Amino acid sequence: MKDTSKQGGSTTEKGNSPANSSASAADGSNGGGKKSMRLGKDFSYDQELRRLQIELVKLQEWVRHERLRVVALFEGRDAAGKGGAIKRITESLNPRVCRVVALGTPTEREKTQWYFQRYVAHLPAAGEMAFFDRSWYNRAGVERVMGFCTEAQYLEFMQSCPEFERMLIRSGIRLIKYWFSVSDEEQERRFQERMNNVTKRWKLSPMDIESRRHWADYSRAKDEMFAITDTKQSPWHVVNAENKKCARLNVIRHLLSQFDYRDLTPEPVPLPSIKKSKYVRPPIQEQNFIPEVYR
């Protein structure tokens, strides 16, 4: 049973899943009693992440076994940490079961389709989970603020979106929506870090740069979006993303708490011995090996 309460328009939930139990070790084993959501300054991020990722593997097997369809949306400001959280969620999971959906700019043909059409094509089948790195809420955010849609298109989206999500839920899809919240000071620090790190500079698109001029407009758009789409059937879950590592752990714990799953991880099986035949392979010199620069 979940204890759900609303404060300031956001929703917080505590569940009885194994993710909320105390762990006796980093291998994901569950001990007795409950563990506080606040881990304190001395917790080991790597150890806790490993424990939670093992729980995610258990959840994956449960979703596959029960043939569930799960959709998780990750929204928020630029550099809020959405992609990093998705990466930590999925890096130990089977990509055939858990897919990341990060769509680019719609094509000219897609612009003439029903707005939700290109997102529907990426919804999960039975036994799958889909994690949307931005979603149909682009229309209520960047498209509205930057003028990429008309006022009529925006109003149509705001009217249709709650009903669209109710349709998904009625069809049996488990829909979970996350909003990553970050301050303008922290976003500025992360932008500067990306600008100074050549391996991260690609993350700063011209749209990200331009969005800095519209901070208040994005805040207003987000508040208006929440007023309409933060519904009882499909609530928004706000993630405090000022600390990236804490945000990742918190969102994984919350995701796990949404399911009353059981551990169906396959047991280890003995590996059969390799049977070597009398087959003679071609000379190894005939194969094209890459240069061994690092030895």
One-letter amino acid of 164: F
The domains of the chain, with CATH numbers, are 3-286 (3.40.50.300)
Task: Check residue 10 and give its pLDDT.
Answer: 36
Position with higher pLDDT, 39 vs 254: 254
Q: Which amino acid is at 272?
A: P
For residue 148, pLDDT beyond 70: yes
CA 225 to CA 221: how far, in whole Å? 6
Query: Reduced to 3 states, what is the DSSP secondary structure of residue 224?
Result: helix
d(CA 102, CA 111): 17
The Cα–Cα gap between 50 and 92 comes to 9
How far apart are the C-alpha atoms of 179 and 198, rounded to whole Å? 28
Model-level pTM?
A: 0.81
Q: Is the pLDDT of residue 246 over 90?
A: yes
Our measurement of the distance from residue 11's CA atom to the centroid of its chain's CA atoms, rounded to an integer in Å, reads 17
- Strand ranges (DSSP E) for 46-122? 69-76, 98-101
Mean pLDDT of 226-255: 97
For residue 98, the 8-state DSSP code is E
- Summarised one tens digit per residue, pLDDT across range 31-85 is 333 333 455 566 799 999 999 999 999 999 999 999 999 999 999 988 899 999 9
In total, the chain counts a number of residues equal to 295
- What is the rounded average pLDDT for all residues in the chain? 86
